[in-house]
């Protein structure tokens, strides 16, 4: 059981984690930290946290678990600020969608206290943000990836694993570089494509008519373009190498589609669509079996 949990960034992910750990009886006290007073007060009013702090050092002092649930671009400042106040036995983890850049930052900011930091990433979320968007079942049946460091103590890894399992998640471990490559393909690329499509259509002269006739397919595909722009700016910059590689690969796929359409190559189009449908159907079938 966590005696005092400090959540740095009480939004969708941090707030949802606080809710489910309280419901599971896995935490005694929850302290929320953030710079937005209105959001922090809302977290108290909703019963998501027990109390709040606007001073990071006060938030982490006495905590046996600290969860960083802020955009990855803010990690350097946060880790450097909190480092002197982390007590022996305190475990720190994060929820960032990029691990390589965060770990590099942590090595510089934490110094001798690096063993306390166990990098993590819950593969869960919605396009909404803020504590009002949080809900206790967000992580149920979802995967959480831990990318432990050689310096981590096994006890620290186990405590983070137990926390996420108490939240209902399926916890797996993965190498840092492999994590960033996989997420560039399965999460980062789709978000950039959604943002790019909506931005493209919004700049058309007849954009009002385009959006007026947007049906379910368009709305489903572009839902994630309503996600937090700051968070996705930071992710794009932090994982730029892997994301750029996936964008270039997708650009090649677009070129092949253009060529097939311009040349009236129906066979090529049908083969591509058939392969894609089979792959998507298999993924959906496997997801249903897990449920």
Q: What is the CATH number of the domain that holds 189?
A: 1.10.3660.10
Does residue 146 contact residue 117 with C-beta atoms inside 8 Å? no
* Domain identity same for 47 and 116: yes
Chain-wide mean pLDDT for the chain? 94
Neighbours of 185 (CB within 10 A): 15
Categorize the per-residue pLDDT at 216 as very low, low, confident or very high, splitting at 50, 70 and 90: confident
- State the pLDDT at residue 289: 66
Report how far apart, in Å, the C-alpha atoms of 207 and of each of 191, 195, 219, 221 are: 21, 15, 15, 17
- How many domains in the chain? 2
Percentage of residues in the chain having pLDDT higher than 70 = 99
Tell me which of 138, 153, 174 is where a domain ends: 174
How far, in Å, are 38, 169, 188, 238 from residue 45 at the CA level? 10, 27, 34, 34
**Whether residues 78 and 113 fall in one domain:** yes
Q: Are residues 150 and 18 in the same domain?
A: yes
pLDDT tens per residue across span 119-133: 999 999 988 989 999
Specify whether the backbone of 4 is left (phi greater than 0), alpha (psi in -120 to 50) or beta: beta
Structure tokens at 238: 């932090």
Grade residue 215 by pLDDT with cuts at 50, 70 and 90: confident
What is the pLDDT, as a whole number, of residue 206? 74
Question: Are 53 and 126 in the same domain?
Answer: yes
Q: What is the pLDDT of residue 286?
A: 72
pLDDT at residue 291 above 70?
no
Q: Are 163 and 272 found together in one domain?
A: no
Q: What is the mean pLDDT of residues 61-84?
A: 96
The answer, yes or no, to whether residue 81 has pLDDT greater than 70, is yes
Selected residue with higher pLDDT from 206 and 65: 65
Q: Given this model, what pLDDT does residue 209 score?
A: 80
Assess whether pLDDT exceeds 90 at residue 210.
no
Residue, of 286 and 104, whose pLDDT is higher: 104
Domain extent for 201:
178-290
Q: Are 189 and 167 members of one domain?
A: no
Neighbours of 251 (CB within 10 A): 9
Q: What is the DSSP code (8-state) at residue 149?
A: -
pLDDT at 211: 83
Both 199 and 142 in one domain: the answer is no
- Examine the fold and report which residue of 174, 202, 233 is the final residue of a domain before the chain moves on: 174
Q: In this structure, are 163 and 242 located in the same domain?
A: no
Band (37; pLDDT cuts 50, 70, 90): confident
93: confidence class by pLDDT, cuts 50, 70, 90? very high
- Same domain (yes/no): 163, 220: no
Q: Are residues 138 and 41 in the same domain?
A: yes
For residue 268, pLDDT beyond 90: yes
Summarize the confidence of residues 101-105 as an average pLDDT. 97
Residue 107's CATH number: 3.40.50.720
| 168 and 200 housed in the same domain | no
Out of 118, 141, 174, pick the residue that ends a domain: 174
pLDDT at 182: 97
pLDDT, one tens digit per residue, over 117-171 is 999 999 999 889 899 999 999 999 999 999 999 999 999 999 999 999 999 999 9
pLDDT category at 105 given cuts 50, 70, 90 is very high
CB 131 within 8 A of CB 106: no
Cβ burial 27-59 (10 Å sphere, 16+ → b, else e): beebbbbbeeeebbebbeeeebbbebbeebeeb
Q: Buried b / exposed e across 113-139, counting CB within 10 Å, b at 16+?
A: bbebbbbbbbbbbbeebbbebbebebb
């Amino acid at each position: 059981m966590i005696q005092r949990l400090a959540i740095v960034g009480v939004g969708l992910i941090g707030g949802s984690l606080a809710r489910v750990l309280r419901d599971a009886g896995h935490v005694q006290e929850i302290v929320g930290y953030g710079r937005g007073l209105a959001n922090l007060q809302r977290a108290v009013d909703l019963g998501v946290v027990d109390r709040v702090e606007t001073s990071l050092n006060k938030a982490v002092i006495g905590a046996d678990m600290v969860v960083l649930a802020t955009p990855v671009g803010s990690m350097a400042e946060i880790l450097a600020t909190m480092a002197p106040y982390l007590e022996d036995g305190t475990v720190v983890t994060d929820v960032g969608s990029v691990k390589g850049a965060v770990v590099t930052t942590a090595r510089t900011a934490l110094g001798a206290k690096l063993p306390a930091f166990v990098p993590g990433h819950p593969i869960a979320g919605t396009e909404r943000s803020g504590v009002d968007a949080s809900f206790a079942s967000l992580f149920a049946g979802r995967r959480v990836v831990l990318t432990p460091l050689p310096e981590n103590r096994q006890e620290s890894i186990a405590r983070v694993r137990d926390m996420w399992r108490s939240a209902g998640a399926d916890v797996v471990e993965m190498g840092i570089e492999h994590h960033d490559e996989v997420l560039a393909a399965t999460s980062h690329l789709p978000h950039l494509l959604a943002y790019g499509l909506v931005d493209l259509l919004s700049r058309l002269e007849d954009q009002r008519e385009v959006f007026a006739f947007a049906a379910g397919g368009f709305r489903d595909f572009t839902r994630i373009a309503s996600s937090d722009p700051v968070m996705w700016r930071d992710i794009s910059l932090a994982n730029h190498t892997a994301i750029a590689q996936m964008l270039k690969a997708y650009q090649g796929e677009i070129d092949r589609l253009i060529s097939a359409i311009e040349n009236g190559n129906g066979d090529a189009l049908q083969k591509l669509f058939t392969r894609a449908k089979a792959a998507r159907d298999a993924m959906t079938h496997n997801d249903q079996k897990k449920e």
